[in-house]
Structure 1
Amino acid sequence: MSTQHTIAFQGVPGAYSHLSCQAFCPEWKAVAYESFSGMLRAVQVGECDAAMVPVENSTAGRVADIHRLLPNSGLHIVSEHFQPVNHQLLGVKGAKLSDIKEAHSHEQGLAQCREKLEMLGITPIIHSDTAGAARDVAKWGEPTKAAIASKLASDIYGLEVLMDEITDMSVNTTRFLVMKKQMQVPDISLEPAHCTFVFSLRSVPAALYKALGGFATNGINLTKIESYMSGDQMQAAQFYIDCEGHIEQKNMQHALEELKFYCLPDAVHILGCYPSSPHRHKPR
């Protein structure tokens, strides 16, 4: 008898991370955790086989704080998943759109619906997550309060859809990373791959320019680069990059050698080499 695989997500049932788990691995059991650190720890200690980690949204940008947790998590990216986000305004049974004075949701959800909320004269109220907001709106039972969450959340918590597609942008997508304890490098010959690195530079003039030069001279396309401060002193910047290519390709290895030359000792972390999502190759 085989044991069912489990995948951890942050939030409560009905969250978009929950939807992503269902879409990416429908045969796996999705397990909810209150915090990102709790979700990652569940994989570290073997409670779950993988974690579904949100990193960025096409409308609201990167997910706050998650990049600081990844380098020291000891986990590796084994896949990526792009989840369409279709926000709906949810209220209690019998409520009307004209009744709503407050909309409760995660700060990312509110940011993705800011213009619509202003147009409707609804006050945004930050909640810890979208599905948790739906759960609480159902518990409060007040017709003036609504949640911005998924259709799955409305089904789970018995809410009515007062407005479908409340998102400001017609295309709204969140990128997730699937992370496990062991690195799983895909076959170099089978499909396009992506690599993700986190690194800290030595304090020398033009260090970032020179460190990234190796990717340019070796023909590697960077699809994302971000910086963020690390530590309490706010002095050492860390950088996060995604790039096209496989870790076993010679040009990638040459680019990494040049990157390491300009970095602090042991300051380059390879978070993963994984198959590029088919979403990246859809016509725009």
Structure 2
Amino acid sequence: MSGVISFQGIPGAYSDLACRGACPAMTTLPCASFEAAIDAVKDGTADLGMLPCENSLAGRVSDIHHLLPDSGLFIVGEQFQRVEHCLLGVKGAVISDLRRAHSHSVALGQVRHILRDLNLAPVVEADTAGAAQLVAGWGKKTEAAIASSLAAEIYGLEVLRANVEDAAHNTTRFYVVSPRPGTQDPATPNLMTTFVFRVRNVPAALYKALGGFATNGVNMTRLESYMLGGEFAATQFLCDVEGHPEQPELRRALEELSFFSSELRVLGVYPMAAFRLAQGSGD
């Protein structure tokens, strides 16, 4: 598919890598914020958007939970991106030259071992690719960045050491969003459905609302709760389940859920990513 896909960050960010992996024929559009990436899709500047929703180490990306349900956009795919941090330096630098490592605070927390082993002082920057851009601009052998190999390529840095992350399973999951919903045949295997709902203010409402998924054999892969409008009494849930809403098992589960919910909205029906299928098969 040709066209434009938006993401939050600057060229070389892991979201940029996710865009290139999911849609290699599309042009990537860097945006200053999640809101800007969403707006680019809404106003037609971009055809699709790549929004991170959760990371295997850091957990959920809370901004997306608040922005996506009210955006008017639909989830049409998912992408999993391995976070493979590299230690980057300017041309001619060697590891013994380094004194400081610049990166996003989350990334610095994921490379504690190498920072300790090399006695590098961590310096927090706005994002990983931005740190690479800064280090390239300074041109100092004492300064390093923790970022992707793509960032090294874009900003002319050298990869002094690859895969420096503490955990090999560090992976970010993304929603691919579109102004139009996907058209998936209910008979298609390996589909995911994402929806949001609010439970009625009655005793055991959440327990009763979710019971239909268990009794109908629907696999729920994700359930997140978050407050609305800063009110402790107003809670919305975002849920990922396997299947299509028109398949009998999921249809019955959603009907039971709607009986106990004050609102239920499907945000998207989309194919499972190859990464998810491979994990399920044990590969």
TM tier relative to shorter chain: over 0.9
Tell me, in whole angstroms, the C-alpha distance in 2 between the residues paired with 1:150 and 1:259: 42
Match of 2:276 among 271, 277, 280: 280
- Whether contact under 8 Å (1:60, 1:111) holds in the other structure is no
How far off is 1:235 after superposition?
Answer: 3.4
What whole-Å deviation, never above 9, does each CA across 1:25-48 have from its counterpart, x for those lacking one? Answer: 111111110100100010011111
What SS does the corresponding residue of 1:52 show, helix, strand or coil?
Answer: strand
How far off is 1:96 after superposition?
Answer: 2.7
Tell me, in whole angstroms, the C-alpha distance in 2 between the residues paired with 1:67 and 1:119: 37
AA at the equivalent of 1:10: Q
Aligned match of 1:159: 157
Aligned match of 2:32: 34
Aligned match of 1:211: 209
1:118 and 2:116 are equivalent in the alignment: yes
Aligned match of 2:20: 22
Match of 2:264 among 265, 268, 273: 268
AA at the equivalent of 1:82: F
Equivalences for 1:1-284 in 2 at 5 Å?
4-264=2-262, 267-282=263-278, 283-284=282-283
Tell me, in whole angstroms, the C-alpha distance in 2 between the residues paired with 1:100 and 1:204: 59
AA at the equivalent of 1:61: G
- TM-score normalised per structure 1: 0.92
AA at the equivalent of 2:12: G
Tell me, in whole angstroms, the C-alpha distance in 2 between the residues paired with 1:226 and 1:218: 21
- Whether contact under 8 Å (2:78, 2:173) holds in the other structure is yes
Q: CA separation of 1:64/1:129 partners in 2, compared to 1, >3 Å: closer, same or farther?
A: farther
Q: CA separation of 1:224/1:21 partners in 2, compared to 1, >3 Å: closer, same or farther?
A: same
Structure 1: gaps spanning 5 or more residues: none
AA at the equivalent of 2:157: L
What SS does the corresponding residue of 1:235 show, helix, strand or coil?
Answer: strand
AA at the equivalent of 2:34: F
- Whether contact under 8 Å (2:245, 2:254) holds in the other structure is no
What SS does the corresponding residue of 1:280 show, helix, strand or coil?
Answer: helix
Structure 2: gaps spanning 5 or more residues: none
Tell me, in whole angstroms, the C-alpha distance in 1 between the residues paired with 2:259 and 2:117: 52
What SS does the corresponding residue of 1:237 show, helix, strand or coil?
Answer: strand
What whole-Å deviation, never above 9, does each CA across 1:17-76 have from its counterpart, x for those lacking one? Answer: 111111111111111101001000100111110001111122222224221111111111
How far off is 1:4 after superposition?
Answer: 4.4
What SS does the corresponding residue of 2:132 show, helix, strand or coil?
Answer: helix
Q: CA separation of 1:123/1:238 partners in 2, compared to 1, >3 Å: closer, same or farther?
A: farther
Tell me, in whole angstroms, the C-alpha distance in 2 between the residues paired with 1:21 and 1:271: 20
How many residues align structurally?
280
Tell me, in whole angstroms, the C-alpha distance in 2 between the residues paired with 1:272 and 1:155: 35
- Whether contact under 8 Å (2:132, 2:146) holds in the other structure is yes
How far off is 1:209 after superposition?
Answer: 1.2
Q: Percent identity?
A: 51
